[in-house]
Amino acid sequence: MKKDWSAIRITLLLYLIVVVVPLNYYFTKKYFEGMQNDAATLNNLVFISGALPTLSNTEDLNERNTLISKIDSSLETVEQKFINFPPNKEYVNLFLADDVFNLFKQSYAELKESLKNAKEIKISADKTSIEINAFSKTAQEMMSYKIEVALDNLYISIAFTMLLIIVLIFVVRTYIRLQFFKHTIYDHETGLYNKKYFDSVLKKSQLLAVREDKPLSLLILFIANYNELSESSNKKELEKLATIFGHFFRHSDTVCRIEKDCFASITPDASLANIEKLLDKLQQEFKSKFSSDTIKINLCIGVATCTENSSISLLEEAKKNMQNCSVIKIGGAS
C-alpha cells in the first residue's frame, strides 16, 4: 500500500508540537520560580540594609538580639538561594558576587563583635552598610542579566513553537487541497480517473491531435453484467478488472472510469491499427488473468480514432463501434 507522506508529516509535526508545548510550559514555570527566588533575595537584602542602622543605634539588648537573629536568617536565605544557586552560573560577575558577599559577612561579623564589645560601632556599621549595598548592586545586575537571558530563551521557544504551528497549518492546508483535488478527479472505488477528468483530457487531447496532425485513439470497455459484479460478494472481481485495465496501458495514456459499468483509455499517438492490436492483447490479458475465476464477466469493447471532420464525438463513435462488436466472455471456470 502506498504511504501517504503528507499524513505522516502532519502526524510528526503534531507529535513535535505536543513535545515542545510542555517544554515551553516547563521553562516558563522555572523562569517564574526563579523570579520568585530573586524577589525573595532582594526583599531579604532590602531588609538587611534597613535593619543594619537600627541594629547599630539600638541599645536595647533584646531588640538587638532579635534583629541579629532576623539578619542571620535573611543572610542564610540569601546564601542558599542566591550564592549557592546563582541566577546564571556563566555570568561574568559571579566570582565578584562571592567576594562581595564574603566581605559583607566579614564586616557583619566585625559589627557584631563591635556591638558585643561596645567599640567602634559606627565605623563597623558604616563599613557593613557599604558592603551590603555593594552586594545588592551586584545581585541586581546578575538578576537583570538572568531576566534578559530567560526572556530571550522564552521568546525563541515561543517563536519556534509558532513556526511549527504555521508549518503544520501550511502542510494541513496543502494536504487538504491535494486530497480535495484527488477526490475531484479520481474514482474512489477503483482509483482511476473519473468522468470529469476524462472529459477534460479528451477535449484537450483532440485539439492537440488535430493541431499537430497526430493520431489519437479511444478504447472503451463496457461490463455487460455489471449488476452481478456490483454485489458485495463479487466486488473483488470488479476491482481486479479495474486494476488489470488500469495497468495494461502506457503511462502516457489516460485510463478512466466514465460510468459505473464503463471504463475508457485515451491513447495519444496510437493509430486505428495500433489500437486494434492493443484490443487483441487486452482480450488475451483478461482471458489469461481470469482463466481460473469462477465468476463470469461479459465485456464489450469499442475503439475509435480521432478525425478532423468527424460529425460525432470520439466517445460516441467508440460506443457505436462497441455495439457492432461481439461480447467477450471471461472467467466462469468450473
The dihedral formed by the CA atoms of 188, 193, 199 and 202, expressed in degrees to the nearest 10: -170
Task: Note whether 92 and 134 are same-domain residues.
Answer: yes
CATH of the domain at 86: 1.20.120
**Which residue, chain included where needed, has cell 510542555?**
22
Residue 129 lies in a domain: yes
- The DSSP result for 181-206, as a single string, is HHHHHB-TTT-SB-HHHHHHHHHHHH
Residue 182 lies in a domain: no
Domain holding 21, by residue range, is: 5-171
The pLDDT score that the predictor gives to residue 242 is 92
The pLDDT score that the predictor gives to residue 95 is 53
CA atoms of 102 and 49, how far apart (whole Å) = 16
Which of 274, 334, 276, 329 is closest to 300 using CA atoms?
329
Task: Note whether 135 and 260 are same-domain residues.
Answer: no
Task: Note whether 208 and 326 are same-domain residues.
Answer: yes
CA atoms of 28 and 22, how far apart (whole Å) = 10
Of 123, 155, 171, which marks where a domain is finished? 171
Own/partner pairs, 304-307, CB within 8 angstroms, 24+ separation: 304/217, 304/218, 305/215, 305/216, 305/217, 305/218, 305/271, 305/272, 305/275, 306/205, 306/206, 306/209, 306/210, 306/215, 306/216, 306/217, 306/218
The pLDDT score that the predictor gives to residue 147 is 76
Task: Note whether 57 and 147 are same-domain residues.
Answer: yes
The pLDDT score that the predictor gives to residue 1 is 37
Q: Is 107 exposed, middle or buried (0-12, 13-18, 19+ CB in 10 A)?
A: buried
CA atoms of 207 and 317, how far apart (whole Å) = 17
Cell of 132: 551590603
The pLDDT score that the predictor gives to residue 199 is 93
Task: Note whether 17 and 165 are same-domain residues.
Answer: yes
Task: Note whether 252 and 293 are same-domain residues.
Answer: yes
Cell of 23: 517544554
Mean pLDDT (whole number) for 199-203: 93
Task: Note whether 64 and 166 are same-domain residues.
Answer: yes
Task: Note whether 83 and 215 are same-domain residues.
Answer: no
Per-residue model confidence as pLDDT tens digits over 204-233: 999 999 899 899 999 999 999 888 877 766
Residue 135 lies in a domain: yes
The pLDDT score that the predictor gives to residue 90 is 46
Task: Note whether 241 and 99 are same-domain residues.
Answer: no
| Structural contact between residues 241 and 318, judged by C-beta atoms closer than 8 angstroms | no
Return the beta strands (E) in the chain as ranges.
216-223, 254-259, 262-268, 296-305, 328-331
| Structural contact between residues 266 and 198, judged by C-beta atoms closer than 8 angstroms | yes
Residue 85 CB contacts under 8 Å (≥ 6 apart), including other chains: 37
Determine the 3-state secondary structure of 224 from DSSP. coil
Task: Note whether 292 and 165 are same-domain residues.
Answer: no
| Structural contact between residues 52 and 75, judged by C-beta atoms closer than 8 angstroms | no
Residue 190 lies in a domain: no
Residue 299 lies in a domain: yes
For the whole model, what pTM was predicted?
0.50
Mean pLDDT (whole number) for 41-57: 84
Residue 19 lies in a domain: yes
- Mean pLDDT, all residues of the chain: 82
Per-residue model confidence as pLDDT tens digits over 242-296: 999 999 999 999 999 999 999 999 999 999 889 989 999 999 999 999 888 888 8
Q: Which position has the higher pLDDT, 131 or 255?
A: 255
CATH of the domain at 260: 3.30.70.270
Type of residue at 63: E
Domain count, the chain: 2
Q: Is the pLDDT of residue 333 over 70?
A: no
Residue 288 CB contacts under 8 Å (≥ 6 apart), including other chains: none
The pLDDT score that the predictor gives to residue 92 is 46
Task: Note whether 319 and 202 are same-domain residues.
Answer: yes
In the chain, the percentage of residues whose pLDDT exceeds 90 is 25
Task: Note whether 253 and 317 are same-domain residues.
Answer: yes
Type of residue at 216: L
Alpha helices in 58-93 (DSSP H): 61-78
What is the Cβ-side half-sphere exposure of residue 84, based on CA atoms within 13 angstroms?
Answer: 7
Per-residue burial over 72-92, b if 16 or more Cβ lie within 10 Å, else e, is eebbeebeebbbeebbbeebe
Residue 15 lies in a domain: yes
Mean pLDDT (whole number) for 63-87: 79
Residue 22 lies in a domain: yes
Of 171, 206, 241, which marks where a domain is finished? 171
